[in-house]
């Protein structure tokens, strides 16, 4: 069962973005991270800044109403009014599906595992790590933020990702059942994980 597309979900600071970039480079395939997805979506008319920020927040509309609208194929408004956040999610989902159709690729974040759930050529990875490892990595990669402890930044970002994922997928973020491989990056080095994934999808 060959897997053409690899999605990477990750806790903040666990190194999922680096893993994705290294993996795509090692495999010689396309790499789509949040920024690339955002910029593709921005081409649909929303400002790049608005798209970027929308990815951090779950829509203020009710998740149930969103899924109801989806199940009725109302992807562009209609009787039920969709929020701009919802519209951006829909544009992102379409973009991710196009990326997956085009060629083998690695996609980081943005509910890609859920958006591509009906394909059988997708390999879903989740990268986690213990708090100590993540805090050190955040300091090294992003530096300190005035007035906010690293613990607060960790919790805040994880919570946003969890809420965003739950809102749009109706599933729990980090549920073991949604991934083919979960690695703890504080114990399994990223370069080892890259080799393993390449072996698994071959």
The continuous run of DSSP H or E covering 172 comes out as none
CA dihedral 195, 131, 163, 152 (to 10 degrees): -140
> Which C-beta is closer to a copy of itself: that of 32 or that of 133?
133
Say how far residue 175 (Cα) sits from the centre of its chain: 14
Using CB under 8 A as the binding rule, the residues of this chain from 152 to 181 that contact a copy of itself are 174-177, 179-181
Exactly one of 89, 126, 133, 165 binds a copy of itself (CB under 8 A); that residue is 126
> Which C-beta is closer to a copy of itself: that of 96 or that of 201?
201
d(CA 190, CA 68): 39
Q: Does 79 help bind a copy of itself (rule: CB under 8 A)? A: no
Q: Does 128 help bind a copy of itself (rule: CB under 8 A)? A: yes
Q: Does 114 help bind a copy of itself (rule: CB under 8 A)? A: no
d(CA 189, CA 181): 14
**Per-residue string for binding with a copy of itself, 135-154, x by CB under 8 A?**
--------------------
Short-list 51, 35, 57, 178, CA closest to 115 = 178
d(CA 89, CA 51): 9
- Residue 116 tokens read as 């591509």
Angstrom CA distances, 129 to 15, 111, 126, 147, 197, stand at: 9, 20, 10, 24, 17
> Which C-beta is closer to a copy of itself: that of 82 or that of 185?
185
Exactly one of 54, 183, 190, 194 binds a copy of itself (CB under 8 A); that residue is 183
At its nearest, how many Å lie between a copy of itself and the CB of residue 200? Answer: 5
Applying CB under 8 A, what is the total number of residues that bind a copy of itself?
21
Chain contacts with a copy of itself (rule: CB under 8 A): 1, 3, 123, 126, 128, 174-177, 179-184, 187-188, 192, 196, 199-200
């Amino acid at each position: 069962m060959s897997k053409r597309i690899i999605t990477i979900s990750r806790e903040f600071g666990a190194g999922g973005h680096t893993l994705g970039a290294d993996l795509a480079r090692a495999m010689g395939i396309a790499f789509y991270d949040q920024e690339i997805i955002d910029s593709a979506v921005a081409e649909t008319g929303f400002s790049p800044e608005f798209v970027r920020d929308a990815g951090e927040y779950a829509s203020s509309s009710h998740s149930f109403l969103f899924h109801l609208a989806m199940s009725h194929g109302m992807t562009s408004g209609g009787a039920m009014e969709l929020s701009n956040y919802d519209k951006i999610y829909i544009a992102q989902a379409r973009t991710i599906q196009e990326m997956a159709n085009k060629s083998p690729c690695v996609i980081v974040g943005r509910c890609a595992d859920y958006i591509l759930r009906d394909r059988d050529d997708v390999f879903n990875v989740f990268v986690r790590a213990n708090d100590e490892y993540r805090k050190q990595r955040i300091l090294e990669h992003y530096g300190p933020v005035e007035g906010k402890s690293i613990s607060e930044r960790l919790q805040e970002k994880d919570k946003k990702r969890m809420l965003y994922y739950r809102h749009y997928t109706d599933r729990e973020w980090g549920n073991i059942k949604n991934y083919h491989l979960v690695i703890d990056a504080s114990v399994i080095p990223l370069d080892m994980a890259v080799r393993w994934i390449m072996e698994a999808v071959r």
